[in-house]
A and B are shown apart, each in its own frame.
Chain A
C-alpha cells in the first residue's frame, strides 16, 4: 500500500496548481488569492508528557513562500516546526492536539504514515549533520531509499541537487570524499542538497545558519531565494534581519510564564506579512521584540 506512493514521490515532483507553476516575477506583489495554502493549523497544542510546550497555534502557510518563525528561546518555534513533518514522533513523550493539515489532509490522521509525510516535507537541522558517508552517497541516500537504483539517474540527481545548493563547483572533484571533511557552511549546504535530492514539496529549516559565518549565511539565503519558486520553505531563525531579508510572512512566538507553577508555555502572538510584523505590528509584544526591547 505504501510502496507505490513512495515511488511516485521519488520519480515525479508533486503536481502543483497550474496558476502556481510560473514563478512570480521579482518584485511582483504577493497575492493571497493566488497562492495555495500548504499548511493549515488550528488550535495546535504540543505537550511533552504533561508539560504544555506550545499552545494555540493557528496559522496558514502558503505555497512558494518563505515563512519565518521568530521569537525568544523556549517559545516553541522549533517544536511547532518539528510537528509539521512529525519529527516530534521521535520524542516518545510528545503529544499533539488540534489540527495540522497539509494540503487538506491531517498530518496526524489515523492512516497517515509519518514516513510518507516526511518524504514530502523535508527538514534541515540547526547543526549540519552529514552522514559519515561519501558526499555522493549523502545526496544519493534519499533517492536510494525511495527506490532509485540507476547509476545514471543518481548521478543526475546528485549533480542537480548540489548545483541547487550552490555546492557543486566546490565538491565536484571529490564526490567520493567523506561528507565529514566539509567545512560548516559547506556541510550545511550538503544537508540542504540532500534534502532537495528527494524533491520534497516543503523544506523545513531549523535555524540553518546559526552555526555559520556571515558569508556562508549569505550563500544559504541566496539559495533559499533561488529555490522558493519550486519549494515552500518554513524557517526558524533567531536572526531578525534574516527574517526581514528572506521571508514573505513571519510568525512571532512568545512565552507565557505561569508564576504559580513556574512553567513556560509558547504561544503564537502574531502572524502576518513580514513587512507588517516588522513595521506595523498589531501586538505590543511583537513591537517590543522586533525593536529589541525584549527577548
Chain B
C-alpha cells in the first residue's frame, strides 16, 4: 500500500553563486585581519622576550638601580618595581571605587537628568585628554605645592583611569536586564538593595575586566609620571613623599641612555612590566570566575 512513486532527488547543496563567493571573501578578510593584528603583538612580545629574558632574575627584580654605566649583569630595577606596584595600586584604590560609584550614579540614579548627562559628557571628554596633559595638571595643582611624590604620580594615573572605569562600568550596568531589577523591586527591595544585591553582582565580571584594562593602561603610562614622581634611582619606600621611580619612566630613562648595560636593563624592565600586567589579568579572571559562577 505504502509504495509511492520514486521521489525526485532534492539538491540541498549550496548553489555556486555570488553569495558563496562573498562568503569566502569575507572569511579570508577576517583571517587576514586577525593575522595583521597578531603580527605587531607577536613581534613586540618576541622582541621584548628575546632581549629582556636573559636579564631577568630574582636579583634583577629586587636590587637597587645602578649608575647607567654599569654593565648589563649588574644591579637591577627593584625600586622601580616597588614604585610601579605602589603608585598603580594607589591609583587603583582612588579611581576604581570612585569610577564604579560614578557609573552607578549615571546608570541607576541619575537617569536622564542634567547632572548625569553632564558627568557622562565630562567622562567622555576626560578620556580624550592626553596623558601628558594630565601629568602637567597634577604638576601645577599638587607638585608645585607639595613636591614630587609617588602620591602625585598616583593622582595623575588615577585621573587617567577614572573615565575608563566610569565608561566601562556604565556599559556593563546597562547590560543588566531590567527584569532582574523588577524582580528585586517586586520583593520589596529598596533601590540601594537592588543595586548592591542584584545589579552589581550581575555585572561584576565586566566591571572587573574594565577596571583591569584601566589598571594595565595606567601601569604602562610614562608621560604623566615625568612631572609627578621625577624618576630617581634611589629607592623610596614612602609613596606619600619624596621623588620616586616606576618601571615605565625607568625604561624611558634607560632606553634613551647611550650605555649598553642601561639599555639591557630597559629591556628587562619592559618584560617585567608586561609580566606584571599579565599576572594581574590572570588573577582578575580567576577572581571574577568565582563571582560569576551562577550567571550561566
Contacts and interface: CB of A to CB of B under 8 A. Distances in A.
Interface of A: 6, 9, 85, 87, 90, 92, 115-116, 118-120, 122-123, 125, 127, 129-134, 137, 141-142, 145-146, 178-180, 191, 194-195, 198
B220 interface: no
Contact of B295 (A118, A137, A178, A191): A178
B294 A133 contact: yes
Majority secondary structure, A binding face: helix
Interface stretch (B164-172, B195-203, B274-282): B195-203
B182 A87 contact: yes
Interface string B283-296: 00000000011111
A131 B111 contact: no
A134 B183 contact: no
Contact of A118 (B177, B179, B188): B188
B198 to A, nearest CB: 6
A125 B183 contact: yes
A115 B190 contact: yes
Nearest to B188: A119
12 contacts: A9-B188, A92-B111, A119-B188, A123-B182, A127-B179, A129-B180, A131-B183, A131-B184, A131-B198, A141-B187, A141-B197, A180-B296
Nearest to B190: A115
Given A92-B111, A129-B179, A195 B294 contact: no
Contacts of B187: 118-119, 122, 141-142, 145, 194-195, 198
B189 A145 contact: yes
Nearest to A85: B186
Contacts of A119: 187-188
Given A132-B202, A145-B197, A194 B183 contact: yes
A102 to B, nearest CB: 14
Given A129-B182, A133-B201, A145-B193, 18 more contacts: A6-B188, A90-B181, A115-B189, A118-B185, A118-B188, A119-B187, A122-B186, A122-B187, A123-B182, A129-B177, A130-B183, A131-B184, A132-B294, A142-B188, A145-B187, A145-B188, A178-B296, A194-B183
Nearest to A2: B190
A178 B292 CA distance: 10
A45 to B, nearest CB: 23
A115 B184 CA distance: 10
B183 A191 contact: yes
B294 A179 contact: yes
Contacts of A134: 294
Contacts of B185: 87, 90, 118
Nearest to A129: B179
A185 B193 CA distance: 28
Contacts of B179: 125, 127, 129
Contacts of A120: 188
Interface in B238-296: 292-296
B201 to A, nearest CB: 7
